[in-house]
Structure 1
């Protein structure tokens, strides 16, 4: 059947618009939309708010009040809720992501200054409580009253800041900045196993997906330490860029990335050879205040919080290009991605 003239004209217009959009996107990376789905959550520690940003459009959907100095964020296993710590206080706020509303505040007292936080698939929420030299464990809500219990495990170390949990949920690892150690915790018995020396000021912390290797970034000595989690022996110490404040591992377990605040850059490391591979310049400027880094769910992109410019950089890992910058509030830092249900 022949195409009617007016339909043909419409098709030509649509094709022309499509080609123009592709050309504009190719010429301007800021116009390229991420292939990621879902919502990026940002803890704005300088203004006590939580931002909700649509990853498809790059637009802010909402901004809601939090406790004092919101920092790290943990997404619930079903992607419906977010836990946001109040680093300047003694609580964790729970947000309904779809509704973009705070639905609960969990009082952690006597534990203080929660920071690194993880939401386990058994419903427990665990957070370092730096002001109490401990890790605090919050149970899932139970009973008609939906009550929670709060307990803690002492690290006995100073500056207990970041947290990693083994895949079997039997061990916890805590970086202690002022003590220069990583505490290894037995989560079944609630006891500390050992403190591992980890340079001068270890902060960034990550496990490989299989739980076999622990990575620790010493931000003062510009070193990345790698430990065997079975033997707890140090198996590598690799030089990094300037002031590696965070470390993250790709979902496939092949690549480690450090957030080098002093360089405004990312450092990439091959986890098979334990060797440095390349640098990705994000801002190239320490004044951007680059801190938290987070992989996309499929690992092809990484998000870097530039706290000094109130933006989140979205970087294509393969090309090393900054594809766009997303809006954040004042000193936006902690990050979480919630997938659509």
Structure 2
């Protein structure tokens, strides 16, 4: 729809008087970074739209100019839509709602400006839509060698801080909303709950008389499912009912890791010293049976549809696949790995099963459909790195690999197998989680 000539003339005169054309020129000149090309293009389009014809007399400049949209206010807009909305009528102050540890240094001393007139706020909205960055993900690392939890900003690769945990933190699980993290104290008998944004411990859940919590899953309904190895059991914590604790005995030795079906009804535990996997009914609160898998099962993973159970054997340097839909539990596939597949991870799309091979410091990639190994990814390169936990990013593009002997986490591009960077964590960082 065409703008009426009178309205267009008013807009052009206003833009000329307020300095908006100059401000857009500044933005177009500066817009060459992340998404900069699109910003510059929008700026040039708007500048061309409001430029007055050559024969139009320029309105005299007023004694007081309206605020210009120039580089300084562009930095503020890029800081976030929420910040601008909250501060529309504020006097100059430091930006609100930002963590000082994560705030870019050039934000800290920039005063917030009073909003420009309505016409300029339209153009500011364009900038906000184009330039607002997505919230950074946070990598959580359980440092079992120093009883702490690291919070690492994946946008910058820098550690934001550490919080004290119980003794020997290992596995980590995120709450259904991604705002909290549960961390086991493998050397004790408790689970700590942390507020991720605040990086603080909210409470500690006592599991006694159960002890040695290790494998951990936080279900969508709010229940926490943890193996309690020294008690030869599976412990269930209902966070909906004041952290009420219940127990299902496995009666197996070294019940170490656990996976749960998507519907929350079945749990499978890897019992290392018994050479078995226990199948447990979480609704009935009882063990159904044990599957003799042989060797020393530790790593365990379950397909999204719950039909295929993958189990790593530390002694046999192999990964076995079992069907969960039959009573006869001979493996339907056996895949040789590079050595001691201590952890397993399934890609978000379900196409790949990856084992973390402790002895070789590499990753074995298995095609989930053909159940054959298709490639190796060299990460740590040797046993001294003590490569243990692996975790896919939400989009499946990256893998995070805990190198506990180096106090680092390697970030790996899954497609190319290239190590993109190494992130510094605490001593003997092992358990991993990525919070949105």
| TM-score (structure 2 length as normaliser) | 0.70
- Relative to its length, the structure with more helix (as a share) is 2
- Relative to its length, the structure with more strand (as a share) is 1
Q: For structure 1, which runs of at least 5 residues remain unmatched after alignment? A: 20-34
Structure 1 position 137, deviation (Å): 0.2
User: For residues 166-204 of structure 1, what are the alpha-carbon distances to aligned partners after superposition, in whole Å with 9 as ceiling and x for unaligned?
Assistant: 111111000000001111111111111111112210100
Q: Report how many aligned residue pairs link the two structures.
A: 318
CA contact (8 A) 1:36 1:55 kept: no
User: For residues 264-301 of structure 1, what are the alpha-carbon distances to aligned partners after superposition, in whole Å with 9 as ceiling and x for unaligned?
Assistant: 00000001000000000002111111000001011111
Name the residue aligned to 1:252: 349
Equivalent of 2:307, from 188, 209, 212? 212
Equivalent of 1:243, from 335, 340, 359? 340
CA contact (8 A) 1:123 1:139 kept: yes
CA contact (8 A) 1:222 1:242 kept: yes
Q: Any residues of structure 2 matched to 1:154-165 within 5 Å, and which?
A: 154-165=249-260
CA contact (8 A) 1:93 1:102 kept: yes
Q: Does 1:297 align with 2:394?
A: yes
Q: Any residues of structure 2 matched to 1:140-159 within 5 Å, and which?
A: 140-142=239-241, 147-159=242-254
Root mean square deviation, CA, Å: 2.2
Q: For structure 2, which runs of at least 5 residues remain unmatched after alignment? A: 1-20, 38-133
Q: Which has the higher contact order (CA 8 A, sep 6+)?
A: 1
Structure 1 position 140, deviation (Å): 1.6
Q: Does 1:193 align with 2:324?
A: no
Instruction: Go from structure 1 to structure 2 and tell me whether the alpha carbon gap of 1:267 and 1:326 turns closer, same or farther (over 3 Å shift).
Output: same
Q: Does 1:122 align with 2:221?
A: yes
Separation in 2, partners of 1:282, 1:198: 28
Separation in 1, partners of 2:394, 2:26: 41
Name the residue aligned to 1:23: none
Structure 2 counterpart SS, 1:242: coil
User: For residues 34-66 of structure 1, what are the alpha-carbon distances to aligned partners after superposition, in whole Å with 9 as ceiling and x for unaligned?
Assistant: x99411100000000000001111110110100
Structure 1 counterpart SS, 2:332: strand
Equivalent of 1:311, from 390, 402, 408? 408
Instruction: Go from structure 1 to structure 2 and tell me whether the alpha carbon gap of 1:37 and 1:230 turns closer, same or farther (over 3 Å shift).
Output: farther
Separation in 2, partners of 1:298, 1:72: 21
Q: Does 1:136 align with 2:154?
A: no
User: For residues 213-270 of structure 1, what are the alpha-carbon distances to aligned partners after superposition, in whole Å with 9 as ceiling and x for unaligned?
Assistant: 1000001110101011111532111111111100111111110000001010000000
Structure 1 position 327, deviation (Å): 1.2
CA contact (8 A) 1:133 1:160 kept: yes
Larger Rg: 2
User: For residues 274-333 of structure 1, what are the alpha-carbon distances to aligned partners after superposition, in whole Å with 9 as ceiling and x for unaligned?
Assistant: 000000000211111100000101111110000000000000100000001111100000
Equivalent of 1:49, from 136, 145, 148? 148
Segments of 4+ moved more than 4 angstroms = 7-10, 12-15
Instruction: Go from structure 1 to structure 2 and tell me whether the alpha carbon gap of 1:308 and 1:13 turns closer, same or farther (over 3 Å shift).
Output: same
CA contact (8 A) 2:262 2:305 kept: yes
Structure 1 position 211, deviation (Å): 1.1
CA contact (8 A) 2:214 2:228 kept: yes
Equivalent of 1:97, from 196, 217, 220? 196
CA contact (8 A) 1:36 1:296 kept: no
Name the residue aligned to 1:184: 279
Instruction: Go from structure 1 to structure 2 and tell me whether the alpha carbon gap of 1:43 and 1:9 turns closer, same or farther (over 3 Å shift).
Output: closer
Separation in 1, partners of 2:397, 2:363: 14
Instruction: Go from structure 1 to structure 2 and tell me whether the alpha carbon gap of 1:273 and 1:88 turns closer, same or farther (over 3 Å shift).
Output: same
Equivalent of 1:324, from 412, 418, 421? 421
Structure 2 counterpart SS, 1:158: coil
